[in-house]
Structure 1
Amino acid sequence: MKWLGLILLLFNYISAEPTPIVLWHGMGDTCCLAYSLGLFKSFLEKQIPGVYVLSLRIGNSTVEDLENGYFMYPNKQVEYVCGELAQDQKLKNGFNAIGFSQGSQFLRAVVQRCGHKLGPIKNLITLGGQHQGVYGLPHCFALQHESCDYVRKLLNYAAYYSWVQKSLVQATYWHDPLDEITYRNNSEFLADINNERKINQTYIDNLNKLEHFVMVKFDGDSIVQPRETEWFGFYAPGQAKKLLTLQQSAIYKQDRLGLKKMDEAGKLVFLSQPGDHLRFTEEWFIESIIKPYLI
């Protein structure tokens, strides 16, 4: 009987399907094209034979998906994705989640807002995410130059107007350290998911169910300002020069998201790469992400 039990255990291990993976692309990117996240999806499928990879498409086409990365209210995007994930039977037994750039904080919002309604989310991996927001917009990716200038002007002077929050995605994670009160009162996405308006215990409980919350920072990032936001750091309130680490921030010290508890439990993982935004090698990703967290 002892040997039978060991044989059954070994059989279950060998025959078990890999944990599915959900991807959410960043601004100026799309879910599925071969030169976009479609290529990364194929890479994961090659490295983890038999894995189910869902690359989220927000809209009815890749064009809509691209446009929605700029103009669809993130709260609606998160609600839409929660519904899509809940209906996907291949995810009912759980999955890992990987966010790219702004897809990082959007997937974290999924974990916090509807994680209790989904199959268990094992690991959340964020690549160049803007967890404490941004204060600067050096590049606009696929937008034409004129549109890029328009976006910058809106963010600099009107980011917290309600109509801008609802019509320009990047405004919803614009974080002005010079005016923290206006940010907290009028940021309709980021201030909410960071529990800076009020404490939502569901957000804390769902985030703390993760096995690991992996944050990857790109040390040469020329896109995200400040790049420390990729590790949940940000400027000290009232100025835009001195930077605070996550552990020095009020979010951590007051444990508004349970991150201190997760850190003490070894659930927070801080990784870095020397290159620009989202620049990493396949070899690094295999050794640092796939092997420890996806297999």
Structure 2
Amino acid sequence: MRLASCAFYLLSCLTFGLCLVNSSSSDSEVNGAPLPVVLWHGMGDTCCFPFSLGSIKKLIEEHTNGTYVRSLKIGGNLVLDYESGFFIHPNKQVDYVCKQLAQDEKLTDGYNAIGFSQGGQFLRALAQRCPSPPMRTLISLGGQHQGIFGLPKCPTLKQSSCEYITKLLNYAAYEDWVQQQLVQATYWHDPLHETSYRLKSTFLADINNELYVNERYSENLNKLKRLVLVKFLNDTIVQPKESQWFQFYEPGQDQHIQPLNQSKVYENLGLALLEQRKRLHLLSVEGDHLAISKDWFVKHLVPMLLD
């Protein structure tokens, strides 16, 4: 029975894209008034499921004296919010969120942000394109900042649907209609066809300054107090998992990972300057995609929301 319970729990983690493991740590006492926190969910999730971002929202509130936490909902209801993770182009989502946050008076003085899986690169795009209200700290949990080249699992989708999406990505990711209709195609990064990726990617190549260098992106990214990139060491969803640290395959092959400081994005996007200023933080955690404990979250991430 215990083995069956553990198996069900792990399946829930991979299905809904986020797990917080109960821990024995007591609540910490917090003084002062920390900045508000904005959350952006990943693929196959929504803003408000009580077992995913709902629990994260509650956890942050408990450990920050009830600071304001806004979990982003794309569209007017949870169905649209869920579908946005697959079928609403990231450019449209980022533009929508930019307008929504500008109308939120509680964010006027700035906010911290946490992105889950693809929500990590969406929030980074927001920081680069929409600097008002100002984002102070960006924490990316499992974000695919150099894209993906493989889709081994599709949370909350039937196997047949996952197989269909995988075939589209493998054979037609850079077709215009696929780019416009499938979110995952917009950050599909084929190292065997780098030119096609740079020319035809309608989202990731742009926010990574890979087609041409948009200095505004670099300047806005360097306004962050911190860029925190969390990699899951046993990740079975993100391929390659090093993308969570802005690393990727060396061009022309899909075996060897290029060191971050040897990639063009390191200079072109201003990551080198962020690292020089000690604002780039690379963290790692044991576990599969987004499977983190409350202890780890409170110990490593909550202090960044309080500072």
TM class by smaller structure: over 0.9
Percent same amino acid at aligned positions?
A: 55
Which one of 279, 285, 293 corresponds to residue 273 of structure 1? 285
1:109 aligns with 2:125: yes
Structure 1 runs of 4+ with >3 Å offset:
292-295
Q: Distance in 2 between matches of 1:224 and 1:244?
A: 17
Q: Distance in 1 between matches of 2:140 and 2:239?
A: 16
Q: Distance in 2 between matches of 1:292 and 1:145?
A: 38
1:214 paired residue number: 228
1:170-221 CA distances to partner (integer Å, 9 max, x unpaired)? 0000000000000000000000000001111111111000011000000000
How far off its partner does 1:224 sit?
0.2
Give TM-score, length-normalised by structure 1. 0.92
Mapping 1:1-295, distance limit 5 Å? 17-115=33-131, 118-252=132-266, 255-295=267-307
Give TM-score, length-normalised by structure 2. 0.88
How far off its partner does 1:16 sit?
5.0
8 A Cα contact 1:172 1:188, kept in partner: yes
How far off its partner does 1:56 sit?
0.2
8 A Cα contact 1:134 1:174, kept in partner: yes
When structure 1 is superposed on structure 2, of 42-51 and 204-213 the one drifting more is 42-51
Q: Which one-letter code corresponds to 1:263 in the other structure? A: E
3-state SS of the aligned residue for 1:178? helix
1:28-52 CA distances to partner (integer Å, 9 max, x unpaired)? 0110121221111111111111300
The count of aligned residue pairs is 278
1:151-180 CA distances to partner (integer Å, 9 max, x unpaired)? 001000000011100100000000000000
Q: Distance in 1 between matches of 2:136 and 2:113?
A: 8
Q: Which one-letter code corresponds to 1:74 in the other structure? A: P
Q: Which one-letter code corresponds to 1:230 in the other structure? A: Q
3-state SS of the aligned residue for 2:56? helix
Relative contact order (alpha carbons < 8 A, sep ≥ 6): 1 or 2 greater? 2
Q: Which one-letter code corresponds to 2:142 in the other structure? A: G
Which structure is larger by alpha-carbon Rg, 1 or 2? 1
1:273-292 CA distances to partner (integer Å, 9 max, x unpaired)? 01110111111111111113
2:16 paired residue number: none
8 A Cα contact 2:34 2:305, kept in partner: no
8 A Cα contact 1:96 1:124, kept in partner: yes
3-state SS of the aligned residue for 2:268? coil
Unaligned segments of structure 1, at least 5 residues:
1-13
Q: Distance in 2 between matches of 1:232 and 1:293?
A: 22
8 A Cα contact 1:18 1:50, kept in partner: no
1:9 paired residue number: none
